[in-house]
Amino acid sequence: MADFLTPGGWALALLQAILYAAGAPLLVAWVKRVKSRLQTRRGPALLQPYRDLYKLLGKEALVAHTASPVFRAAPYIVFGATLVAASVIPLLAVELPTAAIADVIVLVGFLALARFFLALAGMDVGTAFGGMGSSREMLISALAEPAMLMAVFTLTMSAHSTNLSTVIEHVLDSGLLLRPSFLFALLGLLLVAVAETGRIPVDNPATHLELTMVHEAMILEYSGRHLALMEWAAQIKLMLYAVLLSNVFLPWGIAA
């Protein structure tokens, strides 16, 4: 660990955070492209999410007169907490300076912080859709967060640590073993990822129908750069779970 507490190690950790932020829109575009091809449609271009974010960041953020400072601060807190949560998950290497805080409890804590302010923002203006989306989000989180902890704890019990870097090193040292507990944990975390990232059948980010809105209902009153940060945070969260699933259960290829 000490060898990585160098300017080069911090630069690699910074590069990892940048890759999360820069690669998340591309992952969303790829998911939309695959979904469109399965529906025999052409689908959007792979660079379309970047264009959308650029357009929104250049627009003025309109805020309702009933909004409190929480509504204005929430996009920055949600984006920052989500990016920090993603940064603690090893992407390029295991022994980075951020490995000291790469703990499952820390990860869940940052995600809970982002969700808390997202739900507050949804209720702040006082619209019916915002309150509905916030209540649904809290219900989903009450079911998903314990399931996520139980799934990851299955691995941490084998590694005798809740640190994600230690868990990944343990899996790398153990080799590919067919353990039923790991398989069930992988399936459980996959279901949690579907719920947490707002995918069908829990939510549908491509629609604004009342019966299917959760995340979209909470950010319905946002516009401009505030909406861009909220959308960007949701994209980073999708990449967070994709990396967590791949690097924790199948970490071969990551630098140890």
- For residue 33, the number of C-alpha atoms closer than 13 Å in the C-beta half-sphere is 12
pLDDT lower than 70: segments of the chain: 1-5, 176-178, 208-211, 253, 255-256
- Tell me, what's the pLDDT at 1? 46
Length of the chain: 256
DSSP letter assigned to residue 93: B
- Tell me, what's the pLDDT at 166? 85
Q: Which residue has the tokens 């290497």?
A: 93
Q: How far is CA 206 from CA 55, 60, 213, in A?
A: 19, 24, 9
Tens digit of each residue's pLDDT (9 = 90 or more) over 84-127: 999 888 888 787 777 777 788 888 899 999 999 999 999 998 88
Residue 246 and residue 30 in contact, taking contact as beta carbons nearer than 8 Å: no
Contact residues for 97 (Cβ-Cβ < 8 A; gap 6+): 4, 5, 9, 10, 13
Could you give the 3-state DSSP secondary structure of residue 255?
Answer: strand
255 beta partners: 93
Please state, in angstroms and rounded to a whole number, the distance separating the CA atoms of residues 90 and 16: 8
Could you give the 3-state DSSP secondary structure of residue 103?
Answer: strand
- Domain residue spans of the chain: 2-249
- Tell me, what's the pLDDT at 2? 46
Count the neighbouring beta carbons within 10 Å of the beta carbon of residue 45: 12
Please state, in angstroms and rounded to a whole number, the distance separating the CA atoms of residues 250 and 176: 8
Residue 231 and residue 238 in contact, taking contact as beta carbons nearer than 8 Å: no
- Tell me, what's the pLDDT at 30? 93
Please state, in angstroms and rounded to a whole number, the distance separating the CA atoms of residues 144 and 185: 13
Where are the extended beta strands (E) located within the chain?
none
Region of 67 (left: φ > 0; alpha: ψ -120 to 50; beta: rest) is beta
- Write the DSSP string, 155-206: HHHHHT--BHHHHHHHHHHH-S---HHHHHHHHHHHHHHHHHTT-TTT--TT
- Angle formed by the axes of helices 69-87 and 224-249, nearest 10°: 20
- Residue 220 is encoded by which pair of tokens? 């319905």
